[in-house]
Chains A and B, each alone.
Chain A
Amino acid sequence: MSDVDEDTNRLVLKLVFYGPALSGKTTNLTRLHDLLQPELKGEMMVLETKNDRTLFFDMLPLGITAPSGLLIKLKLFTVPGQVAHDSTRKAVLSRADGIIFVADSQSNQSINNAESFENLAENISRVGLDLDTLPLVVQFNKRDLPNVLTEAEIMGRWSKMPWPVLFASALEGQGVIETFRELLIKIYQTIDSKIGLEKSHGLNQNQFISGVLGEAGEHD
Chain B
Amino acid sequence: MTEEIRETLPLMDFDRELSLDELLGGINRKKLFDALSNLLGMPFCICTTKGDPVIGAREVSMGFRLPLRAEMEPVGYLETPTDLADKTRSAVTLIELLLHSGARYLMASTLHLHAVKDDYDKLQKKYVALMESENRYKDLAENLEQRVSEQVKTIEATQLQLYQAEKMASVGQLAAGVAHEINNPIGFIQSNLVTAQSYVNDFSELTKQVEAGTKVDNMQGFLKEKDMAFVLEDFQVLLTESIDGARRVSAIVKDLKGFSNIDRGEEEVVNVNEIIQSVCNISLPQINKNAELTLVLVTLPLTRCRPGHLGQVFLNILLNAAKAIKEKGKISVESLLKDDRIVVRISDTGSGISEENMKRMFDPFFTTADVGDGTGLGLTVCRDIVKAHGGEIEVESTPGKGTSFSIVLPIIS
- Does chain B have a CB within 8 A of A12? yes
| Complex-state Cα separation, A42 to B100, whole angstroms | 10
Are the CB atoms of A91 and B72 closer together than 8 Å?
no
Contact between A47 and B115 (Cβ–Cβ < 8 Å)? Answer: no
Roughly how many angstroms separate A168 CA and B111 CA in the complex, as a whole number? 30
A91 with B71, Cβ < 8 A, contacts A14-B15, A43-B100, A47-B108 known: no
A43 to B99, CA, bound (A): 12
A95-B13 in contact given A45-B103, A45-B107, A56-B108 (Cβ < 8 Å): yes
**What's the minimum C-beta distance from B163 to chain A, rounded to whole angstroms?**
64
In the complex, what distance in Å separates the CA atom of A125 from the CA atom of B69? 35
Q: Which of B157-212 contact A (CB under 8 A)?
A: none
- Give chain B nearest CB distance to A126 CB in angstroms: 9
Q: How far is the CA of A5 from the CA of B17 in the complex (A)?
A: 11
Question: Does any Cβ of A come within 8 Å of B122's Cβ?
Answer: yes
Residue pair B100, A87 in contact (C-beta under 8 Å): no
CB neighbours (8 Å) of B107 from chain A are 45, 56-57, 59
Q: Check A45 against B104 for contact (C-beta < 8 Å).
A: yes
* Interface presence of B268 (CB below 8 A): no
A53 within 8 A of B: no
User: Which residue on chain A has the smallest CB distance to residue B105?
Assistant: A47
Is A77 at the interface (CB under 8 A from chain B)? yes
Instruction: Contact check, B115 vs A95: say whether CB atoms are below 8 A apart.
Output: no
Residue A71 contacts which of B13, B73, B100, B119 (CB distance < 8 angstroms)? B73
B15 A87 Cβ-Cβ under 8 A: no
Q: Are A63 and B115 in contact (CB under 8 A)?
A: no
Q: How large is the interface on A (under 10, 10 to 19, 20 to 34, 35 or more residues)?
A: 20 to 34
Contacts of B108 in A (CB 8 A): 47, 55-56
- B103 contacts A12, CB within 8 Å? no
Please report the total number of B residues contacting A with Cβ < 8 Å: 21
Whether the Cβ atoms of A90 and B118 lie closer than 8 Å is yes
Residues of B within 8 A of A62 (CB): 72
Contacts of B257 in A (CB 8 A): none
- Report which residue of B13, B14, B119 has the largest number of chain A beta carbons within 10 angstroms of its beta carbon: B14
Q: For residues 59 through 115 of chain B, which have their beta carbon under 8 Å from a beta carbon of chain A?
A: 69, 71-73, 100, 103-104, 107-108, 111-112, 114-115
In contact, B111 and A92 (Cβ under 8 angstroms): yes
> Are A41 and B72 within 8 A (Cβ)?
yes
Best-surrounded residue of B72, B104, B122 (most CB of chain A within 10 A): B72
Residues of chain B within 8 A (CB-CB) of A8 are 17
CB-CB < 8 A to B122: which residues of A?
Answer: 87
CA distance A14 to B15 in the complex (A): 9
Q: Which of A12, A43, A56, A73 contacts B112 (CB 8 A)?
A: A56
Nearest-Cβ distance from residue A192 to partner chain B, whole angstroms = 23
Check B17 against A91 for contact (C-beta < 8 Å): no
A61: interface (CB < 8 Å) = yes
Chain A residues with Cβ below 8 Å from B116 are 87
How far in angstroms is the closest Cβ of chain A from B112?
7
Nearest opposing residue in chain B for A89, CB measure: B115
Is A189 in the interface zone, CB < 8 Å from B?
A: no
Question: Are B115 and A87 in touch, CB under 8 angstroms?
Answer: yes
Q: Which residues 29-73 of A have a CB within 8 angstroms of B?
A: 40-43, 45, 47, 55-57, 59, 61-63, 71, 73
Q: Which listed residue, A40, A55, A77, touches B72 by the CB 8 Å rule?
A: A40
Do B15 and A88 have beta carbons less than 8 Å apart?
no
Whether B111 and A42, one on each chain, are in contact in the complex, defined by CB atoms closer than 8 angstroms, is no
Assembly CA distance A90 to B115 (angstroms): 8
> What residues on A are CB-neighbors of B118 within 8 Å?
87, 90-91
With A71-B73, A87-B122, A91-B111 known to touch, is A77 a contact of B104 (CB < 8 Å)? no
Name A8's closest neighbour in chain B (CB-CB). Answer: B17
Question: Is A75 on the interface with B (CB-CB < 8 A)?
Answer: yes
**Given A88-B114, A88-B115, 9 additional A-B pairs, CB 8 A:** A43-B71, A56-B108, A56-B111, A62-B72, A85-B115, A90-B115, A91-B111, A91-B114, A91-B115
Residues in chain B within 8 A of chain A (CB atoms): 13-15, 17, 69, 71-73, 100, 103-104, 107-108, 111-112, 114-116, 118-119, 122
Residues of A within 8 A of B (CB): 5, 8, 12, 14, 40-43, 45, 47, 55-57, 59, 61-63, 71, 73, 75, 77, 85, 87-88, 90-92, 94-95
27 A-B contacts (beta carbon < 8 Å): A5-B17, A41-B72, A42-B72, A43-B71, A45-B100, A45-B104, A56-B112, A57-B107, A57-B111, A59-B15, A71-B73, A75-B15, A77-B15, A85-B115, A87-B114, A87-B115, A87-B118, A87-B119, A87-B122, A88-B111, A88-B112, A88-B114, A92-B15, A92-B111, A94-B13, A95-B13, A95-B15
